[in-house]
Amino acid sequence: MKRVVVTGGAGFLGSHLCDALIQRGDAVVCADDLSTGRLDNIDHLLDLPAFTFAHMDVSEGLEVSGPVDVVAHLASPASPPDYHRSPLGTLAVGSRGTEHALRLAAREQARFLLASTSEVYGDPAVHPQREDYWGNVNPIGPRSVYDEAKRFAEALTMAYRRSVGVDTGVVRIFNTYGPRMRPHDGRVVTSFITQALNGDPLTIYGDGSQTRSFCYVDDLVRGLVAMIDSDEPGPVNLGNPHERTVSELAAAVVALTGSSSPVEHHPLPVDDPTRRRPDIGKARAVLGWQPRVDTEEGLRRTVDWFRTRMDEVAAAAPMVAGEQVGGAGVPAASPVAAGPVAVGRS
Ligand code: NAD
Ligand code: UDP
């Protein structure tokens, strides 16, 4: 049994990680400021003796009493509208928050897991992305608050490994989806599912030819746990290598939901990566990990979960002041020119 501190443990991925750790008998301290996470996600854990919730901003500090075996640092906004809404907070949690989490790991001689991201590859000039590719990131664009915060977090983690001797592990997570995502978090899977279930147009940014590779949450969490249990420093890519275009994803969601929603094209956000697919050879080799759930099955499970929350799905999407990208009801993705550019049927 381990005692694991999970920062960002009330979020989408963090809450599933807390579940997996509790299920196997670990004790968990979940540290979260609830900025993008929700108590609902961990409600079923709150009364368990093995689970503690600490409402705190890890950019301000991370004090945990008692022994700690693992610090899993997931705290950070992850959805583009979330990090555009809080650019300074995103930089703070990637820098100061990561340092507080590393200091705790150093003091407790704990294993440290950093949840980094495929965004460290930026708009990749190498495809698929292997861990030895250094990336192509615009350091001053609107996405840089997230990309560079994570790149700094990786650098800080490696420095604590080399100069302080902390047992660190870095994973680079590629687009992951599943139950407990906020219906209006603005990420593409949630946007398409809520739009399809509401009979609203699916908002495709750009011409829809950009690609992503979507991993189901259960697979991803198995990879996080494998990384916690290993002494592998990483970085290790975790993601599903099945690549598809955004238009293909829209068509798959429309088919799965039986929706008659049309698609509606909006301007592409600034610096939106044109393609993304993980090479997971290293994860296979060092963790024995690979995804098991194919995208259709994962999307079906996610749609089923959203169908049980139709009140929330049907509620109006929140707007971000000054960042609205298009027609009414469209949540912001990043600062771009306003107005839909084309409407068509998927
Ligand atoms: P999420 O927004 O659901 O979860 C993030 C959690 O961190 C939330 O509970 C939020 O309240 C908390 N948080 C944010 N700032 C905090 C702070 N200063 N102090 C304490 N808590 C704070 O997002 P997610 O998809 O679950 O992402 C979790 C982690 O995985 C993030 O670090 C993200 O960068 C990384 N990641 C996720 C994906 C993905 O596709 N889901 C892809 C790449 C990387
Ligand atoms: N996207 C889209 N419509 C949406 C939301 C996103 O076409 O309503 C696109 C977005 O431009 C990007 C891809 O879908 O090309 C994935 O976006 P997401 O925000 O989910 O993740 P990220 O860009 O961080 O990979």
- Note whether 53 and 30 are within 8 A (CB): yes
Q: Is residue 16 part of a domain?
A: yes
- Could you give the CA distance from residue 214 to residue 244 in angstroms, rounded to a whole number? 8
Q: In this predicted model, what pLDDT tens digit does every residue of 85-136 receive, in sequence order? A: 999 999 999 999 999 999 999 999 999 999 999 999 999 999 999 999 999 9
Computed over every residue of the chain, the mean pLDDT equals 92
Q: Is residue 242 part of a domain?
A: yes
- Could you give the CA distance from residue 305 to residue 307 in angstroms, rounded to a whole number? 5
- Could you give the CA distance from residue 149 to residue 155 in angstroms, rounded to a whole number? 10
- Exposure of 47 by Cβ count < 10 A (0-12 exposed, 13-18 middle, 19+ buried)? exposed
- Could you give the CA distance from residue 221 to residue 315 in angstroms, rounded to a whole number? 29
Q: In this predicted model, what pLDDT tens digit does every residue of 203-239 receive, in sequence order? A: 999 999 999 999 999 999 999 999 999 999 999 999 9
Nearest ligand 2 atom, CA 119: 24
Q: Is residue 346 part of a domain?
A: no
Q: Is residue 199 part of a domain?
A: yes
What is the gyration radius of the CA atoms in the chain, in angstroms? 19
Counting the structural domains of the chain, the total is: 1
- Note whether 172 and 118 are within 8 A (CB): yes
**Residue-range definition of the domain harbouring residue 243:** 3-331
- Report the pocket of ligand 1 as residue ranges, CB < 6 Å: 7-8, 10-14, 32-37, 57-59, 74-78, 82, 93, 97, 115, 117, 173, 175-176
User: Between vectors from CA 199 to CA 194 and to CA 201, what angle results, nearest 5°?
Assistant: 80
Closest CA to 103 of 148, 156, 29: 156
Please pick, among 121, 146, 177, 205, the residue that the annotation labels catalytic: 146
pLDDT at 199 over 70: yes
Query: What CATH number corresponds to the domain at position 103?
Result: 3.40.50.720
Q: Is residue 271 part of a domain?
A: yes
N-term to C-term CA, the chain = 50
Closest CA to 73 of 166, 182, 165, 181: 166
Q: Is residue 65 part of a domain?
A: yes
Token pair in block for residue 328: 């009414």
Distance 30 CA to ligand 1 centre (A): 13
Q: Is residue 341 part of a domain?
A: no
pTM: 0.94
Q: Is residue 226 part of a domain?
A: yes
